[in-house]
Structure 1
């Protein structure tokens, strides 16, 4: 990173990396590998093209941080016949712009936005996947959301059991689609903690139980 870039972004600058991939599996694998480095979001730009954004935590060396990302992308691409994932943008952003740096993810009729979003519309869900499974990008999650949409009319009087709820993303969507009450269960304590935070931030504690 150039010193001038650091000065212009400010002392609180954070590294933003945008990675593009042609398949959602690559995006999900990278998301899991990069989530300990900062805030990660992913979204489908157009049919067959996905973008993953990493807003890295403050670290001692931005060059080391970037090298780690490049290494993980290279390892993913190694030996793959499919179109490789690639870094399409790398820049510094100030703390003021950090919350806008990573694009929100659209899943079904909803948009997953930051937990810190002050105003949240009826089609937005405050969400942070943390280290739990269930970022919203995995094909199985998207298929489940499609099925929930198709049966939305039946959800209104129904109770939903979300087995292996992970981050709680499907529990949240079930409630938003009208389920009377949803119970999310998981054997991972970290996942339960993440899911409970997501439920609380969306004011759905009266309609979703995480256990």
Structure 2
């Protein structure tokens, strides 16, 4: 059974480190359990290497997770990480499952291309790293917003917006008040003004 305090972050080699670590850090500060999964086989070493060569330990193979346990699937960007996520059938299946069960999907930087591949952006407002705007098939691309929420799909533009992206995830999974408290504690107050109360 799903918990609103448990999310899945699949990582592929070539992920953007700023985005992944920010998501993990901020959500855990908000008392949201983040399960970091890699795309390797169950018997492989548990890690993923980022685009800048930083290696992160992962908890489990994506093959071994029960997707029904999660309130959200969240994707960090980076190249080639985002294209690997887009091309992985397990990732696409997980995104579709979340959508079909009215749960959250979220992606930052180049990773919204995986949401598009899963068909989740059709008729939705979305954003991503500017070089990938043309890859968001079916979406109304928003260029000047840090975080965009359309239904239960959240997108954001890149490393520089990853803190606001993570805080907005806390806002929708916990509460806007929790997100604002975390933001203030990190000397990043004024979240609602920066993102235009996108969760309301």
TM-score relative to the length of structure 2: 0.28
**Larger RCO of the pair (alpha carbons < 8 Å, separation 6+):** 2
TM-score relative to the length of structure 1: 0.27
